[in-house]
Amino acid sequence: MIFVNLPVSDVAASRAFYTALGFSVNEQFSDDSSVSVVVSDTIFLQLLSRERFASFLPEGRRVGDPRQATAAMHALSCEGREEVDAMVEKALGAGGGTWMPAQDHGSMYGSSFTDPDGHVWEPMWMDPAQAQ
């Protein structure tokens, strides 16, 4: 399992964005300062207000701003090219931004977008026969 903790500027806006992508929310681990997004049975996002995120950092460390510098790109596996394109379309329609254009390498296809805070997401598909 993977749990990705991300700082966000507006918890409610982040909730709306990620649910517009089709992800669900685990209300048990959500409140006014964070939202727990269920991407899959093994992937969870904890979107925390910048203040709450900072409370988990060692003294003297600052919360980074993904709009100013890219520290990570999160790739999500999709079932096919259509799912890749549909996720990007949903993201852009829900207030996300463009990142890099789609890339088609025959047996691998991917695209990308940013969430409203600038976190980079890369939906991708790889031909299962080529992945072995």
**pLDDT surpasses 90 at 88:** yes
Q: How many helices (H) and strands (E) would you count in the chain? A: 3, 10
Residue 105 banded pLDDT, cuts 50, 70, 90: very high
Q: What is the pLDDT of residue 63?
A: 96
With a pLDDT cut of 70, the percent of the chain lying above it is 98
Cα radius of gyration rounded to whole Å, the chain: 15
Calculate the average pLDDT of the chain: 96
Which residue in 34, 28, 30 sits closest to 51, CA to CA?
Answer: 34
Predicted TM-score (pTM) of this structure: 0.92
Quick one: how far is CA 54 from the chain centroid? 19
Q: What is the pLDDT of residue 102?
A: 96
